[in-house]
Amino acid sequence: MSSQAARLVVLVSGSGTNLQALLDAVADEAYGARIVAVGADRDGIEGLARAERAGVPTFVERLADHPRRDAWDREIAARIAGHRPDLVVCAGFMKILGAPTLTAFPVLNTHPALLPSFPGAHGVRDALAYGVRITGCTVMLADAGVDTGPIIAQEAVPVLDGDDEAALHERIKTVERSLLVDTVGRMAREGWTVTGRTFRFGRPGG
């Protein structure tokens, strides 16, 4: 990555509060990154509206518009590549990206549970149902699995008596947003290496 601001493509599927935290962070030049595009797998979501309000280009690539998954994989990779990202950030993006994207770019993902516990689309619900007293959030590199990539950062959030899924998820998201912003900023400014499953900030040989 060059010493210029890192180019981020952010992918969203929902309300986009994690995206908003990144949009707010990149307003400061010292953050070291800028958002060059926001992509989604569906129309009409607040995440896209947030990008539009911020004047960031958007694109939508719907799985349903393709006869097969691999066609969608290729098309979304091409849409992402058109923006020449240094890093792709899945911020509440509810699809697994295929090889065309994963082999072309580093991809970061965020998950509302302490991996490897409770991967998948219902991490908050599953943690609550299991009865854990501590859960949290994880920022990791994406790979071909479901929330299985090398872990970059984690933060714990206690489960409170009387929590339901919505209340717990909101408290996790408060922590998740700042963890995501911190992590993306450090990756942009410091670079990183991955050895096996071990992620380290800092440029190779640095």
Chain contacts with ligand GRF (rule: CB under 6 A) = 12, 14-19, 47, 91-92, 110-112, 173, 176
Cβ-proximal residue to ligand GRF, closest one = 92
Which is nearer to ligand GRF, 18 or 101 (by Cβ)?
18
Which is nearer to ligand GRF, 73 or 176 (by Cβ)?
176
CA distances from 201 to 44, 81, 155 (A): 36, 24, 17
Q: How far is the CB of 127 from ligand GRF (least distance, A)?
A: 12
Q: How far is the CB of 61 from ligand GRF (least distance, A)?
A: 17
Q: Specify burial of residue 75 (Cβ count, 10 A radius: 0-12, 13-18, 19+).
A: middle
Point out the catalytic residue in the list 83, 111, 122, 169: 111
The structure tokens 């922590």 sit at: 175
Question: Which residues are annotated as part of the binding site for (6R)-10-formyltetrahydrofolate?
Answer: 69, 94-97, 109
Q: How far is the CB of 112 from ligand GRF (least distance, A)?
A: 4
Q: How far is the CB of 123 from ligand GRF (least distance, A)?
A: 7
The alpha carbon of residue 103 and the mean position of all alpha carbons in its chain are separated, in whole angstroms, by: 17
Q: How far is the CB of 205 from ligand GRF (least distance, A)?
A: 33
Question: Rounded CA gap, 80 and 85, in Å?
Answer: 7
Which is nearer to ligand GRF, 65 or 170 (by Cβ)?
170
Which is nearer to ligand GRF, 1 or 181 (by Cβ)?
181
Which is nearer to ligand GRF, 16 or 185 (by Cβ)?
16
83 is catalytic: no
Question: Rounded CA gap, 91 and 100, in Å?
Answer: 19
Question: Which residues are annotated as part of the binding site?
Answer: 16-18, 69, 94-97, 109
Q: Residue 55, Cβ neighbours under 10 Å: how many?
A: 7
User: Catalytic residue numbers?
Assistant: 111
